[in-house]
Amino acid sequence: MSDEVAIRVSAAARPAPSVARTATMAAILLAVVAFVPTFLLSDYHLFQLTMVAVYAIAILGLAILTGFNGQISLGHGAFFAIGAYIAAILISKFAVNPWLTIPVAAVVCLGAGFLFGLPALRLEGLYLALATFALAVATPQLLKYKHAEGWTGGVQGIVILDKPEAPFDLPISQDRWLYLVTLAIVVVMLIVARNLTRGRVGRAIVAIRDIDPGTASARESTRWTRVSKASSESPVRATMVLRLSGLLSRVTVFSVWSLNANRSMRPMASHLPIASSASRL
């Protein structure tokens, strides 16, 4: 029975052939349109398009977090700044090849996001938004801290004028080569994001967003009902429950119950069955 359900879920998760074909053709057309400006625009305009592509990569991560996962993040730019400063410091202070700084900056940002996510696991909604907002406010101040100015450049930042040259003596300018590399990274990130959101992890991410608060509260109420029933089966435990309820006011009991209910929503969302998660897609 479970195998049959899994087969149905995987079949439902697959797009229709016409939809997949249309998406593939649209992706190819978009790649061609994005590649054409390399031969038509000036270096200045290509550099502007390169910055657009860089911001598109950052927005892609925010789209997964906010759009698919439903979590509010106001500090996404802080991780963007961490990666940029790591790459700039490696280039300006240690003369590292610019292309080698990309994976290093990605790993550092991954570690920073993991360390920030650990204490924020139980936060959601406005509480998570406030935590990320605090990160966004604190990051510029830390970068301008006087003891870090030697590395970060303080309020002036780090200025790097030299752009990477095209390898193998290719007859293209620095701005055109930078645009092509950035465009390739955008395509890779789009493919990774598409595969991530369409797999098991993606269904779990969407399940956290689509979980019904009423269902979670009902499950929590059922759990507390079972606990109360088990306590009332023994006269001694029933007496302890009555004495405890006499000591606590209704407001305190409601506050503790609400706090436990909110905290239990995320673990239940992350442990939803695949079939339940996919049924909401």
Q: What is the pLDDT of residues 206-257, one digit of tens each?
A: 888 887 555 555 444 444 433 333 333 333 333 333 333 333 333 333 333 3
Q: Are residues 262 and 239 in the same domain?
A: yes
Structural domain count, the chain: 2
Which of these three, 198, 222, 246, is where a domain ends?
198
Which of these three, 198, 227, 260, is where a domain ends?
198
Q: Are residues 45 and 173 in the same domain?
A: yes
Q: Are residues 225 and 271 in the same domain?
A: yes
With respect to residue 18, please indicate whether it lies within any of the assigned structural domains. Answer: no
Helix (H/G/I), strand (E/B), else coil: 177: helix
What average pLDDT score do residues 196-204 get? Answer: 89
Sign of CA dihedral 169, 174, 180, 181: positive
Q: Are residues 130 and 247 in the same domain?
A: no
With respect to residue 194, please indicate whether it lies within any of the assigned structural domains. Answer: yes
* Interacting residues of 202 by C-beta distance below 8 A, sequence separation 6+: 68, 196
Nearest residue to 251 via CA among 259, 243, 242: 259
What average pLDDT score do residues 184-196 get? Answer: 90
With respect to residue 259, please indicate whether it lies within any of the assigned structural domains. Answer: yes
Q: Are residues 54 and 107 in the same domain?
A: yes
Is the pLDDT assigned to residue 158 strictly greater than 90? yes
Nearest residue to 206 via CA among 15, 58, 66, 76: 66
Tokens of 130: 């406030």
Neighbouring CB atoms inside 10 A of 209's CB total 14
pLDDT value of residue 169: 84
Is the pLDDT assigned to residue 174 strictly greater than 80? yes
Which of these three, 198, 224, 242, is where a domain ends?
198
With respect to residue 46, please indicate whether it lies within any of the assigned structural domains. Answer: yes
Burial 101-121 (b: 16+ CB within 10 A, else e): beeebeebbeebbeeeeeeee
* Interacting residues of 125 by C-beta distance below 8 A, sequence separation 6+: 72
Q: Are residues 126 and 227 in the same domain?
A: no
* Residues of the domain holding 69: 36-198
pLDDT value of residue 109: 93
**Average pLDDT over the chain, rounded to whole?**
74
With respect to residue 16, please indicate whether it lies within any of the assigned structural domains. Answer: no
What average pLDDT score do residues 76-94 get? Answer: 93
Q: Are residues 46 and 118 in the same domain?
A: yes
The pLDDT-based confidence of 20 (bands split at 50, 70, 90) is low
Is the pLDDT assigned to residue 190 strictly greater than 50? yes
Q: Are residues 141 and 53 in the same domain?
A: yes
Between 249 and 3, the more confident residue is 3
Q: Are residues 105 and 63 in the same domain?
A: yes
Is the pLDDT assigned to residue 8 strictly greater than 80? no
Neighbouring CB atoms inside 10 A of 201's CB total 11
Q: Are residues 189 and 236 in the same domain?
A: no
Identify whether the C-beta of residue 104 lies closer than 8 Å to the C-beta of residue 90. Answer: yes
The pLDDT-based confidence of 24 (bands split at 50, 70, 90) is confident
Q: Please write the tens of the pLDDT for every residue from 31-47.
A: 788 888 888 889 999 99
Proportion of the chain above pLDDT 90, given as a percent: 36
Q: Are residues 70 and 107 in the same domain?
A: yes
